[in-house]
Amino acid sequence: MKKIINGFLGLIVIGFSIVLVGTLMVQSQLENISSLVEPTFVDVESQVAHYLEPIRSSIPETKQAEFDALQEQVVSDPKFQEISETLVTNALNDVVSGGMSMNETAFKEDVQAYIESYAPEIETLSEGTVSVDEVSTVVEEALNNPEFQQTYETIVTRVQQELSPKQQRILSYVNGFTKMRREIITGTILILAVTLLVLVLMNRGWQWSKLFGTIALIMSIIMLMLYFVSPFIMTFLQNRVGMSITLKQNPFKLYLWSALGAFVMGILFKILNRFES
């Protein structure tokens, strides 16, 4: 009976260790659900051009090329990319949750503050014709235009049109994971700690070290198998859902390092058991 319980608890340790490593691996790839989707449905760049277009007439003809270059700089700035990503993430979250979480006031403030940061350069290009305050006024008027107020709803609609029901379902699962990942990691660690403590209490006199060694060696084999198999599983899943996922570096290395760590621990526990015996 004791062997059966030990075997069952050992499976729990192995299973939840795999869950923990897998969760950490997924977490390293997903800062938010927008990282899974190419935001082709968001044309924020044209919005920026729209905000600055009223100023163009005040820019001398000889400075028009420089003004175009400045617009490109505005769009390529990391701060602008961050604002765009926030918009995409909100739209995707609303599609999968069925809500409307967009804080329009905060978004407008972010956009206005960002574009206003380029106002001194615009003033220089206009040779003083357009002041910093006038840039602020133009951007504010553009942001308060009814067309802008409909922009977010349009983006959400385009997301719904571009993503298949299966893709929306996958994003819903990912969205749930990103919200619960801390609880998942904490809960998994607690279960592992309690299970290992029970095994120690059930196997006194250093018998637990032999059991831990066996569990660790089995775990190292499984982790190594997952390291080799995971890329094929990922490709299969992408083909099934029709969604291309861009991976940061090689997340599957976490399985490899876990396999090596478990192997070393297994050997150490086996040596410890022999030494105590």
* Structure token digits, residue 108: 């407008």
**What does the alpha-carbon distance between residue 88 and residue 81 come to, in Å, rounded to a whole number?**
10
Q: Dihedral of the CA atoms 7, 13, 18, 24 (nearest 10)? A: 180
- 114 and 195 both lie in a single domain: no
Q: What is the pLDDT of residue 43?
A: 54
Q: Dihedral of the CA atoms 224, 227, 230, 232 (nearest 10)? A: -100
Contact status, residue 227 vs residue 252, Cβ threshold 8 Å: yes
Q: What is the pLDDT of residue 194?
A: 95
Angle at 160 between CA 154 and CA 165, to 5 degrees: 175
Q: What is the pLDDT of residue 166?
A: 75
- 131 and 76 both lie in a single domain: yes
277 residues of the chain, pLDDT tens digit each: 888 888 899 899 999 999 999 888 877 766 555 556 655 545 555 555 666 777 777 778 888 888 888 878 887 788 877 777 777 777 777 776 666 667 777 877 888 888 888 888 888 877 777 788 887 887 777 777 666 656 677 777 777 777 777 777 777 777 777 778 889 999 999 999 999 999 988 887 778 888 898 999 999 999 999 999 988 887 887 777 666 666 666 778 889 999 999 999 999 988 888 876 6
- 72 and 121 both lie in a single domain: yes
Q: What is the pLDDT of residue 168?
A: 76
- Residue where one domain finishes, among candidates 115, 140, 162: 162
Q: What is the pLDDT of residue 241?
A: 65
Number of domains in the chain: 2
- 173 and 260 both lie in a single domain: yes
* Structure token digits, residue 209: 């070290």
- 45 and 139 both lie in a single domain: yes
**What does the alpha-carbon distance between residue 17 and residue 23 come to, in Å, rounded to a whole number?**
10
**What does the alpha-carbon distance between residue 118 and residue 74 come to, in Å, rounded to a whole number?**
8
Question: Among 194, 276, 263, which Cα is nearest to 225's?
Answer: 263
Q: What is the pLDDT of residue 5?
A: 87
Q: What is the pLDDT of residue 13?
A: 92
- 130 and 175 both lie in a single domain: no
- 170 and 267 both lie in a single domain: yes
Question: Among 254, 258, 245, which Cα is nearest to 28's?
Answer: 254
- 223 and 250 both lie in a single domain: yes
- 24 and 55 both lie in a single domain: no
- 112 and 96 both lie in a single domain: yes
Q: What is the pLDDT of residue 80?
A: 79
**What does the alpha-carbon distance between residue 13 and residue 202 come to, in Å, rounded to a whole number?**
15
Q: Find the domain containing 263 and state its range.
A: 2-32+166-276
The DSSP code for 249 is: S
Q: What is the pLDDT of residue 59?
A: 78
- Residue where one domain finishes, among candidates 131, 162, 193: 162
- 143 and 247 both lie in a single domain: no
- 62 and 150 both lie in a single domain: yes
- Residue where one domain finishes, among candidates 116, 136, 162: 162
Q: How many CA atoms lie within 13 A of 98 on its CB side?
A: 1
